[in-house]
């Protein structure tokens, strides 16, 4: 059964925003008084983050045009200034766009020139896949926070074990907010750290945060005992290789031993031993630069999507890849199920979510029955059809997906779209087979667009979706299932609370939906 | 736990077989690869290509000279491989002085290796010059028997580069087998490293060639004259090299190319050895027959190489192999004892404790050296100091009268055998302590006293600046040596942590629980020893530090990560474990994620 964009719970009335979900019911509040604390105390100690444009200093090298008032000019002058400031391609694009002042001949010739250049670049890129992708402007194609340079928040990532969140801000700084130290926000900034695209906390470490940027990867040591708010660059290890930039994706394996980095202009991805500061490039012919990486939770597989239709799933035992192709575009976002047997991914062109199922490893075979049929040979199947639909109040969801995240227990899948101001949350069930059903839609304030999403890893009362909105506001959207039955788990949630899937997944399923009890239990066993 | 002698010998034999088979495969592939490179380089690039006669290329490339070269290359590579295998099998000893390092380079094995490389260098020059259409005979027969200086120059360059690379590797390079961070198939590994080696070889060829130019400029005339005098021939005037011979670009490029090929050939053998020897091996957890080699046997093997393979496999079991994990946690039949787990944990903990204690000794040595010398500045003063009555105990020496000792690192004091260690390291204090002995012993100890005097004199001489550089002990040599050979320990630490964490789900008999306090204690001790080790990289971001410093960072990080894994898994139950208060305090930071 394929899920669609229909069947979500009703949207909040005008002027209200979605605040949280308690036992399957979405709670709404007026924007001015929107806080989940009225409904649940699970996020009571969380840092309040709001990074407005005024609070964020513009990054060096950032396009400064938006700070000036727009002035009407003649077309020729505009084309000249565009050519002077941004280059020939942008000038041709301006000339080819229909406007009152431009003549048909000018538009036609500009379009012809653009098409010729496009064909030439295609030919060159076929021979040299990474030729045309060098340069800072390609950051946007690879990054999940693409085309969002002007938004204050580019990326958010939760620490895997404690309540600590790192936020990549558009001024190329990274701010670290911790629930344990509400007033103390270390800001990581350096001249080397330009065009930050991705962040990754090291598992089984309190302090190490990898930052992917234009120059390479900076692994910062954010000492929790330190009182320094602006750590110097000596607290960071810089990992870079010639030709391996700009970094578009970084990922630690779940044991925290290896870091993998990808750059859209480099067809090699690098596996790093950060402590030894050594790296191994992994490369296969075809596909172009590597755009996206995702390591399976059991560390057995690594997804490496390229900037073309090709993507690979590497077997990390012997580092041999399986090669796959999408129909069009490139893989833009992907996430693994907790059991590492299902890979969900979306592409840049299609409005669907694909699922790719792999044979479980021996760790799971001893706890469940499984057919010997090689599922991966059957190909990827569509599990969510995201054709745009109107969901009320003139709002639409659907279309190409910008970012997709799956919570650590495999119960919720959240998506944001290129052309929608809503966050779609689906409920997922892994046993006996993958089942996806619409859950709820999260709506921000008027004019707000979601720019980045992340699930908190150590939230044991359900799932906590964190949404960065285009205004710089960061919202926590807890989905709590057991608070009424067991309030002790939601009160006093702090750093010392440990992630214990054996408790949370079982009890949350019991309270949330009794019919799903058995499947929850099975999914835990399989995990 | 060792079995009967026949069983032990069969297991040792099996371990040796594993090593020898890998060495042989590495050598054979080295020969094959060297031959392929020789043919590939020789055929299209260096040959005098006549476009109109393509068949002539093949004829030239595979002439009798080529076959002779390839056979000689194979023999040389085999000999090199046999000589190098010892470096991989055994751990190099800790050398504390620079003089010792130089001496170690002149061991008979290294001298044989140097000779082989010199012959190899001359052979490469001869072969590739032949492909280029030159005859590299030292003598020309055109106008009687004459010495061809140009060819002498090329051959001498090849011999020099062979000699230089041998001793450079022995003296300047760190000789330690590092296992790769990811276990790829052999072909991608070799392909990747080969690409890197080609560029690296050309870079490395510049310096020895520059040295050779200088040497030839200074001593080339002597070589030429002595050789022609010795052989009773004249020098060919046409082939004489001018004073500014290194300005001739073609000659310089050719020499650099030959040098790079010589260096590349040596590196290829090393790379193939590393690729074959560091391949992960699956060992049995428990054996059905007595002569089968199990993981426990490998961990306790006397060969460091086999130990490393064992630790690598143990980490693989802990991280990725639940079936063998279950076997590790199982009980023996008959008897019902957790022998598998017990032997593994005992061996790993023993290795970690041994490393920690060795590291503590090394730290004491380093601190003692950095806190200023306790020796007098001259032998005369030492005699005076010996007669001073006030110096009756080591603690008096560390009073406020000595400014250098006021800055003493307190970590030395932590050592339980403080007095012994100070007395043992300081002959003067040792002598002073001996003064407290009864007077009648003095007559008997005249010889000993004169020996002490001799030691003072030697130490005084050794402390002179130039001599100290060569003969003085490097205080951090021991610590660096320990760290260089610690890669397997970081695997052991992580393996224990992962196994302990996995035991919550898979250890149905609870065999791991009893060892948890010991594991935690060992890890915390190791962490504190590493933190006290005064080896730091000063400019961390600019360039990576030395391998020892990076190994220290890797081991420290592995220990911290392991403690986090244990605290994640056992956080709620740590209060039930019999741990000391200090350990609980340390673990408290890990539970709250406060340890950076």
Tokens 């391609």 found at: A89
- Of all residues in chain B, the one with the smallest CA distance to A268 is B192
Task: Calculate mean pLDDT across residues A118-125.
Answer: 78
Q: How many CB atoms lie within 10 A of CB A321?
A: 16
- The pLDDT score that the predictor gives to residue B118 is 92
- The answer to whether the CB atoms of B322 and A363 lie below 8 A apart is yes
Please tell me the least confidently modeled range out of B16-25, B47-56, B423-432: B423-432
- The answer to whether the CB atoms of B182 and A271 lie below 8 A apart is yes
Q: Is the pLDDT higher at B452 or at A519?
A: B452
pLDDT of B481 above 70: yes
CB pairs under 8 A between A and B: 109
How far lies A319's CA from each of A29, A280, A315, B184, B186, in Å?
Answer: 50, 11, 5, 5, 11
- Of all residues in chain B, the one with the smallest CA distance to A366 is B323
Same domain, A35 and A113: no
- Of all residues in chain A, the one with the smallest CA distance to B495 is A255
Task: Calculate mean pLDDT across residues B236-259.
Answer: 74
Which positions in chain A touch B544 (Cβ < 8 Å)?
A: 277
A255 Cβ under 8 Å from any chain B Cβ:
yes
Same domain, A452 and A402: yes
How far lies A339's CA from each of A296, A333, B588, in Å?
Answer: 8, 19, 31
- Report the DSSP beta bridge partners of residue A331: A347
Confidence of residue A292 (pLDDT cuts 50, 70, 90): very high
Is A14 domain-assigned? yes
Task: Calculate mean pLDDT across residues A107-125.
Answer: 84
The C-alpha of B589 sits at a distance from chain A's nearest C-alpha, in angstroms, of 10
How far lies B404's CA from each of B367, B381, B396, B407, B535, in Å?
Answer: 12, 18, 13, 6, 21
Buried b (16+ CB within 10 A) or exposed e, B70-82: beebbebbbbbbe
- The pLDDT score that the predictor gives to residue A100 is 67
Sheet holding A290-295, edge to edge: A290-295, A301-306, A310-315, A320-325
Task: Calculate mean pLDDT across residues A271-283.
Answer: 93
- The pLDDT score that the predictor gives to residue A520 is 37
Between positions 19 and 38 of A, the ones with CB within 8 A of B are: none
CB A436 within 8 A of CB A426: yes
- Of all residues in chain A, the one with the smallest CA distance to B556 is A275
CB A17 within 8 A of CB A441: no
Which positions in chain A touch B594 (Cβ < 8 Å)?
A: 206, 224-225
A89 Cβ under 8 Å from any chain B Cβ:
no
How far lies B149's CA from each of A33, B9, B125, B222, B433, in Å?
Answer: 93, 58, 15, 12, 69
Nearest CA-CA partner of B278 in B406, B414, B194, B179: B179
CA–CA dist B329, B558 (Å, integer) = 23
Highest mean pLDDT among A8-22, B238-252, B296-310, B550-564: B550-564
Confidence of residue A284 (pLDDT cuts 50, 70, 90): confident
Buried b (16+ CB within 10 A) or exposed e, A18-29: bbbbbbeebbbb
H or E stretch including B328? helix B322-328
DSSP-derived secondary structure letter, A425: E
Tokens 């039949």 found at: B333
Same domain, A19 and A106: no
Mean pLDDT for all residues in chain A: 80
- The answer to whether the CB atoms of A204 and B568 lie below 8 A apart is yes
- Of all residues in chain A, the one with the smallest CA distance to B316 is A317
Which positions in chain A touch B322 (Cβ < 8 Å)?
A: 362-363, 366
What pLDDT digit, counting tens, does each position of B331-362 carry? 887 778 888 999 999 999 999 999 999 999 98
- The answer to whether the CB atoms of B540 and A234 lie below 8 A apart is yes
pLDDT of A496 above 80: no
User: At which of A485, A501, A520 does a domain end?
Assistant: A485
pLDDT of B318 above 70: yes
Task: Calculate mean pLDDT across residues B248-272.
Answer: 88
CB A286 within 8 A of CB A321: no
- The pLDDT score that the predictor gives to residue B53 is 64
Is A33 domain-assigned? yes
Residue A164 Ramachandran class (φ > 0 left, ψ -120 to 50 alpha, else beta)? beta
Asked whether this complex has an ipTM greater than 0.85, the answer is no
Confidence of residue B405 (pLDDT cuts 50, 70, 90): very low
- The pLDDT score that the predictor gives to residue A522 is 41
Nearest CA-CA partner of A3 in A422, A385, A389: A385
Same domain, A461 and A382: yes
Confidence of residue B411 (pLDDT cuts 50, 70, 90): very low
CA–CA dist B297, B313 (Å, integer) = 12
Backbone angles phi, psi at A175, to 5 degrees: -110, 140
Name the token pair of B399. 């009073």
Chain A contact probe: residue of B178, B179, B182 with most A CBs at under 10 A: B182
Between positions 129 and 168 of A, the ones with CB within 8 A of B are: 159, 161-162, 164
Nearest CA-CA partner of A246 in A331, A347, A145, A160: A145
Nearest to A255 among B319, B539, B571 (CB): B319
Is A54 domain-assigned? no
- The answer to whether the CB atoms of B568 and A237 lie below 8 A apart is no
- Of all residues in chain B, the one with the smallest CA distance to A224 is B594
Dihedral, B532, B534, B539, B541 alpha carbons, nearest 10: -30
pLDDT of A527 above 50: no
Q: Is the pLDDT higher at A368 or at A189?
A: A189
pLDDT of A367 above 80: no
Chain B contact probe: residue of A179, A232, A255, A283 with most B CBs at under 10 A: A255
Residue B505 contacts by C-beta under 8 Å, 6 or more apart in sequence?
A: none
- The answer to whether the CB atoms of A318 and B185 lie below 8 A apart is yes
- Of all residues in chain B, the one with the smallest CA distance to A277 is B544
- The answer to whether the CB atoms of A275 and B557 lie below 8 A apart is yes
User: SS3 for A277?
Assistant: coil
CB A9 within 8 A of CB A397: no
Q: How many CB atoms lie within 10 A of CB B432?
A: 23
Nearest CA-CA partner of A495 in A227, A165, A254: A165
For residue A246, say if its preceding peptide bond is cis, omega within 30 degrees of 0: yes
Helices (H), A143-279: none
CA–CA dist B479, B485 (Å, integer) = 10
Is A99 domain-assigned? yes
Nearest to B564 among A204, A224, A274 (CB): A204
- The answer to whether the CB atoms of B593 and A281 lie below 8 A apart is no
CA–CA dist B339, B327 (Å, integer) = 11
Same domain, A450 and A336: yes
Name the token pair of B101. 């390092």
Confidence of residue B389 (pLDDT cuts 50, 70, 90): very low
pLDDT of A485 above 60: no
Residues of B with CB under 8 A from a CB of A: 180-185, 188, 192, 319-323, 494, 498, 539-541, 544, 550-551, 553-554, 556-558, 560-561, 564-565, 568, 571-572, 591-596
Is A108 domain-assigned? yes
User: SS3 for A201?
Assistant: strand
pLDDT of A131 above 60: no
- The pLDDT score that the predictor gives to residue B435 is 54
Same domain, A8 and A111: no
Nearest to B541 among A233, A299, A366 (CB): A233
H or E stretch including A426? strand A422-429
Radius of gyration of chain A (CA): 23
CB A329 within 8 A of CB A349: yes
- Report the DSSP beta bridge partners of residue A480: A22, A462
Same domain, A338 and A428: yes
Chain B contact probe: residue of A257, A367, A526 with most B CBs at under 10 A: A257
H or E stretch including B266? helix B249-277
What pLDDT digit, counting tens, does each position of B29-65 carry? 988 888 888 777 765 554 555 666 666 666 666 666 6
Confidence of residue B319 (pLDDT cuts 50, 70, 90): very high
Please tell me the least confidently modeled range out of A51-65, A175-189, A269-283, A370-384: A51-65
- The answer to whether the CB atoms of B319 and A234 lie below 8 A apart is no
DSSP per residue over B366-434, as a string? HHHHHT---S-SSHHHHHHHHH-TT--SHHHHTSTT-HHHHT--THHHHSTTHHHHHHHH-HHHHHHHH
Domain hosting residue A111, numbered range: 79-127
- The pLDDT score that the predictor gives to residue B4 is 56
Percent of chain B surpassing pLDDT 90: 26
CB A23 within 8 A of CB A427: no
Nearest to B323 among A162, A226, A362 (CB): A362
Is A491 domain-assigned? no
Nearest to A238 among B541, B560, B568 (CB): B541
- The answer to whether the CB atoms of B182 and A204 lie below 8 A apart is no
Nearest to B554 among A275, A298, A498 (CB): A275
Nearest CA-CA partner of B311 in B348, B354, B340, B274: B348
- Of all residues in chain A, the one with the smallest CA distance to B594 is A224
- Of all residues in chain B, the one with the smallest CA distance to A319 is B184
Same domain, A83 and A15: no
pLDDT of A483 above 60: no
CB A205 within 8 A of CB B510: no
| Structural domains of chain A, count | 2
- The answer to whether the CB atoms of A206 and B595 lie below 8 A apart is yes
Q: Is the pLDDT higher at A77 or at B526?
A: B526
- Of all residues in chain A, the one with the smallest CA distance to B548 is A276
Backbone angles phi, psi at B374, to 5 degrees: -95, 0
pLDDT of B513 above 80: yes
Same domain, A336 and A451: yes
pLDDT of A99 above 90: no
- The pLDDT score that the predictor gives to residue A503 is 35
- Report the DSSP beta bridge partners of residue A431: none
The C-alpha of A238 sits at a distance from chain B's nearest C-alpha, in angstroms, of 6
CA–CA dist B441, B437 (Å, integer) = 7
CA–CA dist A368, A360 (Å, integer) = 10
Highest mean pLDDT among A194-203, B3-12, B330-339: A194-203
A505 Cβ under 8 Å from any chain B Cβ:
no
Is A434 domain-assigned? yes
Same domain, A107 and A1: no
Task: Calculate mean pLDDT across residues A125-147.
Answer: 47
- The pLDDT score that the predictor gives to residue A181 is 85
Is A161 domain-assigned? no
Highest mean pLDDT among B120-129, B136-145, B409-418: B120-129
Name the token pair of A29. 């509040």
The H helix count followed by the E strand count for chain B is 26, 3
Which positions in chain A touch B494 (Cβ < 8 Å)?
A: 255, 257
User: SS3 for B594?
Assistant: coil
What pLDDT digit, counting tens, does each position of B105-127 carry? 888 888 888 998 899 898 888 88
What pLDDT digit, counting tens, does each position of A199-238 carry? 999 999 999 999 999 989 999 999 888 888 899 888 899 9
Q: What is the 3-state secondary structure (H, E, C) of A453-482?
A: EEECCCCCCEEEEEEEECCCEEEEEEEECC
- Of all residues in chain A, the one with the smallest CA distance to B279 is A318
- The pLDDT score that the predictor gives to residue B427 is 42
- The pLDDT score that the predictor gives to residue A368 is 46
Same domain, A357 and A430: yes
Task: Calculate mean pLDDT across residues A337-365.
Answer: 84
Chain A contact probe: residue of B181, B281, B542 with most A CBs at under 10 A: B181
Same domain, A336 and A458: yes
- The answer to whether the CB atoms of B550 and A319 lie below 8 A apart is no
- The answer to whether the CB atoms of B181 and A495 lie below 8 A apart is no
Which positions in chain A touch B551 (Cβ < 8 Å)?
A: 276
Nearest to A276 among B494, B550, B560 (CB): B550
CA–CA dist A523, A525 (Å, integer) = 5
């Amino acid at each position: 059964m394929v899920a669609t964009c229909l069947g979500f719970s009703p949207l909040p009335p005008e002027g209200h925003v979605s605040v949280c979900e308690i036992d399957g019911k979405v709670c709404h509040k007026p924007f001015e008084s929107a806080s989940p604390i009225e409904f649940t105390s699970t996020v009571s100690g969380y840092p309040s983050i709001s990074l407005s444009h005024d609070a964020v200093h513009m990054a060096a090298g950032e396009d400064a045009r938006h700070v000036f008032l727009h002035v009407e000019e003649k077309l020729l002058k505009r084309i000249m200034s565009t050519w002077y400031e941004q280059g020939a391609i942008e000038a041709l694009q301006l000339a080819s766009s229909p406007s009152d002042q431009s003549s048909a001949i000018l538009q036609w010739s500009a379009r012809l020139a653009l098409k010729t250049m496009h064909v030439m670049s295609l030919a060159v890129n076929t021979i040299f896949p990474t030729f045309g992708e060098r340069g800072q402007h390609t950051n946007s194609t690879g990054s999940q926070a693409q085309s969002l340079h002007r938004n204050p928040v580019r990326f958010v990532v939760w620490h895997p074990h404690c309540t600590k969140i790192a936020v990549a801000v558009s001024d190329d700084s990274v701010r670290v907010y911790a629930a344990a130290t509400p007033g103390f926000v270390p800001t990581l900034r350096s001249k080397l750290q330009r065009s930050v695209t991705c962040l990754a906390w090291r598992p089984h470490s309190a302090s190490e945060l990898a930052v992917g940027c234009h120059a390479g990867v900076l692994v910062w040591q954010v000492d929790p005992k330190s009182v320094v708010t602006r750590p110097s660059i000596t607290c960071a290890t810089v990992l870079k290789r010639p030709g391996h930039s700009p970094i578009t994706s970084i990922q630690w394996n779940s044991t925290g031993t290896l870091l993998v980095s990808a750059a859209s202009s480099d067809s090699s991805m690098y596996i790093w031993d950060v402590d030894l500061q050594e790296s191994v490039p992994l490369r296969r012919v075809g596909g172009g630069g590597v755009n996206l990486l995702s390591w399976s939770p059991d560390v057995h597989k690594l997804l490496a999507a390229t900037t073309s239709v090709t993507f690979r799933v590497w077997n990390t035992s012997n580092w041999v890849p399986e090669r796959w192709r999408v129909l069009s575009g490139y893989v833009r976002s992907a996430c693994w199920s907790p059991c590492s047997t299902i890979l969900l991914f979306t592409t840049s062109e299609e409005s669907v979510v694909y699922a790719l199922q792999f044979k479980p490893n021996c760790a799971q075979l001893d706890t469940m029955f499984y057919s010997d049929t090689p599922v991966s040979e059957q190909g990827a199947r569509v599990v969510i059809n995201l054709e745009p639909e109107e969901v009320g109040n003139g709002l639409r969801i659907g279309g190409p997906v910008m970012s997709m995240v799956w919570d650590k227990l495999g119960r919720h899948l959240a998506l944001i779209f290129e052309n929608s101001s809503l966050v779609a949350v689906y409920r997922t069930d892994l046993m006996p087979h993958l089942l996806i059903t619409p859950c709820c839609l999260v709506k921000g304030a008027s004019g707000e667009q979601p720019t980045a999403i992340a699930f908190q890893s150590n939230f044991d009362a359900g799932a906590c979706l964190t949404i960065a909105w285009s205004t710089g506001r960061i919202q926590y959207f807890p989905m709590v299932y057991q608070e009424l039955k067991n309030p002790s788990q939601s009160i006093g949630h702090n750093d010392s609370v440990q992630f214990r899937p054996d408790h949370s997944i079982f009890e949350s399923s019991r309270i949330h939906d009794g019919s799903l009890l058995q499947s929850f239990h099975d999914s835990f066993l399989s995990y | 736990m060792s079995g009967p002698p026949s069983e032990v010998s069969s297991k040792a034999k099996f371990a040796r077989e594993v090593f020898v088979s890998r060495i042989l495969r590495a050598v054979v592939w080295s020969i094959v690869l060297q031959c392929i490179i020789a043919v590939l380089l020789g055929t299209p690039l260096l040959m005098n290509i006549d476009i109109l006669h393509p068949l002539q290329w093949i004829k030239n490339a595979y002439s009798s000279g080529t076959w002779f070269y390839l056979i000689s290359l194979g023999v040389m590579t085999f000999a090199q491989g046999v000589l190098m295998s010892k470096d991989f099998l055994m751990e190099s000893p800790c050398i504390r002085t620079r003089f010792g390092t130089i001496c170690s380079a002149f061991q008979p094995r290294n001298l044989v290796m140097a000779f082989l490389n010199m012959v190899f260098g001359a052979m490469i020059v001869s072969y590739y010059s032949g492909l280029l259409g030159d005859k590299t005979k030292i003598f020309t027969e055109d106008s009687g028997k004459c010495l061809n200086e140009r060819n002498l120059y090329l051959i001498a360059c090849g011999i020099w580069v062979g000699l230089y690379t041998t001793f450079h590797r022995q003296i300047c390079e760190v000789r330690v087998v590092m296992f790769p961070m990811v276990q790829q198939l052999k072909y991608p590994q070799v392909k990747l490293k080969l690409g890197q080696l080609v560029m690296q070889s050309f870079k490395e060829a510049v310096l020895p060639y520059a040295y050779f130019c200088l040497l030839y400029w200074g001593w080339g005339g002597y070589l030429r004259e002595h050789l022609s005098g010795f052989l009773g021939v004249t020098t060919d005037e046409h082939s004489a090299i001018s004073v500014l011979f290194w300005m001739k670009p073609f000659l310089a490029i050719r020499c650099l190319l030959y040098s790079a090929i010589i260096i590349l050939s040596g590196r290829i053998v090393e790379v193939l050895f590393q690729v074959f020897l560091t391949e992960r091996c699956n060992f049995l957890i428990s054996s059905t027959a007595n002569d089968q080699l199990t993981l426990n046997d490998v961990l306790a093997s006397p060969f460091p190489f086999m130990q490393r393979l064992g630790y690598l496999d143990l980490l693989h079991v802990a991280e990725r192999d639940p079936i063998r994990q279950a076997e590790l946690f199982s009980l023996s039949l008959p008897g019902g004892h957790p022998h598998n787990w017990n032997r593994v944990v005992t061996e790993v903990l023993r290795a970690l404790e041994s490393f920690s204690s060795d590291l503590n000794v090394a730290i004491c040595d380093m601190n003692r050296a950095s806190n200023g010398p306790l020796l007098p500045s001259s032998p005369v003063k030492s005699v005076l100091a010996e007669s001073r009555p006030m110096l009756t105990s080591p603690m008096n020496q560390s009073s406020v009268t000595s400014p250098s000792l006021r800055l003493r690192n307190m970590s030395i004091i932590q050592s339980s055998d403080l007095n012994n260690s100070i007395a043992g390291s300081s002959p003067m204090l040792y002598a002073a302590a001996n003064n407290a002995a009864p007077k009648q012993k003095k007559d008997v100890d005249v010889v000993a006293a004169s020996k002490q005097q001799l030691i003072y004199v030697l130490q005084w001489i050794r402390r002179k600046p130039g001599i100290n550089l060569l003969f003085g002990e490097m205080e951090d040599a021991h610590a660096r040596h320990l760290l260089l050979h610690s890669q397997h320990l970081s695997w052991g630490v992580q393996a224990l942590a992962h196994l302990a964490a996995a035991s919550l789900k898979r250890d149905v008999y609870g065999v791991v629980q009893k060892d948890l306090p010991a594991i935690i204690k060992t890890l915390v001790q190791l962490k504190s020893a590493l933190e006290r080790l005064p080896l730091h990289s000063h400019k961390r971001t600019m360039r990576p530090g030395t391998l020892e410093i990076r190994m220290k960072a890797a081991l420290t990080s592995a220990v911290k990560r392991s403690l986090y894994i244990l605290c994640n898994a056992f956080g709620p139950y740590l209060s039930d474990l019999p741990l000391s208060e200090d350990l609980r305090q340390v673990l408290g930071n890990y539970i709250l994620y406060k340890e950076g």
